[in-house]
Amino acid sequence: MCGIIGYVGTDRGDDALEVLLDGLSQLEYRGYDSAGVALADGGIDVHKREGELAALEAALPRERFDGDSIGIGHTRWSTHGPPSDANAHPHTDATERVAVVHNGIIENYQSLRDDLAAAGITFQSDTDTEVVPHLIGRSLDEGLDHEAAFRAAIDRLEGSYAIAAVFDGTETVYAARHESPLVLGVADDGHFLASDVPAFIEYTDQVIYLADGEFARLTPDDLVITDANGQVTDPSVETIAWDPEDAGKSGYDHYMRKEINEQPTALRECFRGRLDELTGRVELPELGDLEPRRPVTFVACGTSYHAAMFGTRLLQDRGVPAQAFLASEFDADRVPIDAESLVVGVTQSGETADTMRAIREANSVGATTVAVTNVVGSSAARETDDVLYIRAGPEISVAATKTFASQQAALTMLAAALSDQRSRALVRELRAVPDQIQSVLDASRAREIAETYHGAEAYFFIGRGYHYPVALEGALKMKEITYTHAEGFAAGELKHGPLALVSEETPVFAVVTGDGKLAEKTIGNVKEVEARGTPVVAVTDGQSDVERYADHVLEVPATSAVASSIVANVQLQLVAYWTAHELGRSIDKPRNLAKSVTVE
């Protein structure tokens, strides 16, 4: 959600405009509806356009910026005011002495805007962000220097923000963050800042993660970080373990397809060093000495919430009390948690605003907190007591795929560790999952299914037990990238209302594996829709006779219910992908959605 890029280079550094445009192109996956840049060599020069980055590039007088070495850029996802040239970032003060870009929500912007308007300021946009440059401008009028004026403005803000600013007449970028991600890049020929590492990974793999309440001052030769009181801090510089090729498409038409196909590799990395087949133990030393069989509360959003539901079932089946909450609905005053509680935040980016709020509430009552995340150095990783990395590597497509599978895998290991379970069978099953997924990728008939049903009115997904969260995730993927109505249900709930919606134009995808009681009951639900003329697609390992009642079959290898849920999910991801492909949708950047949702 929104993207920031900033750069200040030395005489031997790259042209700022090219760095900014490269960075913005790498941040397109986050979701946006306008883009802009501000160059600050010899005056503030702002260019911004509604629409995709190509519209901005077409409007830029590039020859004017040859040799410029400092600037900031932004891709905006609308919150205050519709997409427009005027509402696009960067924003300036009345006399264009400062330009600002911002991610997040300034909650007290209306009162600030009213005060500034009363003082004679005329606003050019509907955004909350525009108050920031005007606040800075007022402080400059009062005689404060650039840094003091920037700090004074930040001190008046309430809400979440990652903010970067450039000033006329200085080769310096100023930045600050509160509850919105900002990462700094360190290179020999300049310094970078961005909302995410891919924006500058082509130029450096040396990064510093700015913490809440910290300020940064970037010049060509220096990078200084200070706390809220102005005291210089000594941050650690981390090396990113992946290269620019990892964040590219590698010849695929879409990032989503590439990332679906990367799941065997991602899962092997998730399992690396954590599974001991000889003893049947799961080893997670990064979690320290968490007390086994302690009640667990999960908080998460979207795809991560479906993974949390999966984790809840895993723990409950092992005798550990567990519950999952949508992070946006979590309230520590209502949910009975205290210093004896274990709260697990599941978040791919480690920056999801609702999940971070829930984690902070849990921290405030003294609960032990654990983050299950993909991003080293993220807010979730820094603000929890322990962190379990899923190790999926960079995921660029807005629709999560390999990170969901890696979350399922990581939570399976977490459940084994928290239940103090030893099982050679489980370890063997998990080790086999990457190869099983590869077999699905090699032989899937999902494209044929998509070609048959891409004109459907709606899609329904059903499953029981471990397959219920998978059904929910299958529906979410379908609606995210095809823009077609799709719903997931616990299979037994069909008869309690949703059956009124099924018809010959509403295919039902049923996840049925094994031959036990849950499979038998789900087959009964399949018969209910089959009897009403509804097309049925069975995702199955062939151990039951569900094929008799299905119009089409998507095969998965036979394994346990836990492992088969990870594998079956891949078939549903492929169905969604190929359906969106048939419909000509924007697969990697679906409308109205963002990759990392950093507002509540």
Q: In the 3-class helix/strand/coil scheme, how is 319-372 assigned residue by residue?
A: CCCEEEEEHHHCCCCCCCCCCCCEEEEEECCCCCHHHHHHHHHHHHCCCEEEEE
Among candidate residues 374, 327, 332, the one with its CA nearest the CA of residue 355: 327
CA 2 – CA 182 distance, rounded (Å): 12
More confident residue, 486 or 337: 486
pLDDT higher than 60, residue 600: no
pLDDT of residue 1: 60
CB 360 within 8 A of CB 333: no
Least confident span in 44-53, 296-305, 404-413: 44-53
Q: For 412-429, how does the pLDDT look when each residue is reduced to its tens digit (9 = 90+)? A: 999 999 998 888 999 999
CB 212 within 8 A of CB 219: no
Bridge partners, residue 547, by sequence? none
pLDDT of residue 28: 79
In Å, how far are 156, 338, 370, 430 from 426, measured between CA atoms?
Answer: 54, 32, 23, 6
Q: Tell me the residue ranges of DSSP E strands in 188-291.
A: 190-194, 206-209, 215-218, 223-226, 238-239, 275-276, 281-282
More confident residue, 336 or 598: 336
pLDDT of residue 426: 93
Q: For 290-301, how does the pLDDT look when each residue is reduced to its tens digit (9 = 90+)? A: 888 889 999 999
**Coil, strand or helix at 131:** helix
CB 26 within 8 A of CB 7: no
Confidence of residue 43 (pLDDT cuts 50, 70, 90): confident
Provide φ and ψ at 195, rounded to 5°. -80, -15
pLDDT of residue 77: 78
How many angstroms from the chain centroid is the CA of residue 87?
Answer: 24
User: Mean pLDDT highest for which of 178-182, 283-287, 411-415, 593-597?
Assistant: 411-415
Phi-psi region of 272 (alpha: psi -120 to 50; beta: other; left: phi over 0): beta
* Helix (H) / strand (E) containing 115: helix 109-118
CB 468 within 8 A of CB 494: no
Confidence of residue 351 (pLDDT cuts 50, 70, 90): confident
Instruction: Name 462's Cβ contacts closer than 8 Å, sequence gap at least 6.
Output: 471, 488, 489, 490, 491, 494, 508, 509, 510, 511, 522, 525, 526
CA 466 – CA 469 distance, rounded (Å): 6
Least confident span in 220-224, 411-415, 497-501: 497-501
Phi-psi region of 191 (alpha: psi -120 to 50; beta: other; left: phi over 0): beta
Amino acid at 426: L
The pLDDT mean for the chain works out to 92
pLDDT of residue 517: 94
CB 358 within 8 A of CB 342: no
Taking the alpha carbons at both ends of the chain, their separation in whole angstroms is 12
Name the token pair of 468. Answer: 């219920």
Total Cβ atoms within 10 A of residue 153 = 25
Give me the domains of the chain, ranges plus CATH numbers.
Answer: 3-246 (3.60.20.10), 248-440 (3.40.50.10490), 444-600 (3.40.50.10490)
pLDDT of residue 596: 60
Name the token pair of 546. Answer: 């569900």
Mean pLDDT, range 523-533, rounded to an integer: 90
Least confident span in 209-223, 232-246, 260-274: 232-246
Bridge partners, residue 459, by sequence? 486
Mean pLDDT, range 473-487, rounded to an integer: 97
* Helix (H) / strand (E) containing 50: strand 45-50
pLDDT of residue 118: 96
Provide φ and ψ at 463, rounded to 5°. -170, 165
More confident residue, 333 or 212: 212
More confident residue, 211 or 563: 563
pLDDT higher than 70, residue 597: no
Sign of CA dihedral 261, 580, 512, 492: positive
pLDDT higher than 60, residue 502: yes
Q: Is 582 exposed, middle or buried (0-12, 13-18, 19+ CB in 10 A)?
A: middle
What percentage of residues in the chain have a pLDDT greater than 70? 97
CA 586 – CA 395 distance, rounded (Å): 16
pLDDT of residue 595: 64
Among candidate residues 167, 183, 530, the one with its CA nearest the CA of residue 381: 183
Q: For 140-197, how does the pLDDT look when each residue is reduced to its tens digit (9 = 90+)? A: 999 999 999 999 999 999 988 999 999 998 999 999 998 888 999 999 899 999 988 8
CA 132 – CA 98 distance, rounded (Å): 10
pLDDT of residue 459: 97
In three-state form (DSSP H/G/I as H, E/B as E, the rest C), the secondary structure along 52-98 is: CHHHHHHHCCHHHHCCCCEEEEEEECCCCCCCCCCCCCCEECCCCCE
Give the residue numbers marked as catalytic: 2, 595
Mean pLDDT, range 73-88, rounded to an integer: 86
CA 229 – CA 433 distance, rounded (Å): 51
Least confident span in 14-28, 58-72, 296-310, 397-411: 58-72
Least confident span in 208-222, 286-300, 381-395: 286-300
How many angstroms from the chain centroid is the CA of residue 263?
Answer: 17
In Å, how far are 248, 279, 437, 503, 579 from 251, measured between CA atoms?
Answer: 8, 41, 21, 39, 20
Q: Please, what is the angle between helix 263-271 and helix 402-418, to 10°?
A: 20
pLDDT higher than 80, residue 243: no
Confidence of residue 383 (pLDDT cuts 50, 70, 90): very high
Confidence of residue 33 (pLDDT cuts 50, 70, 90): confident
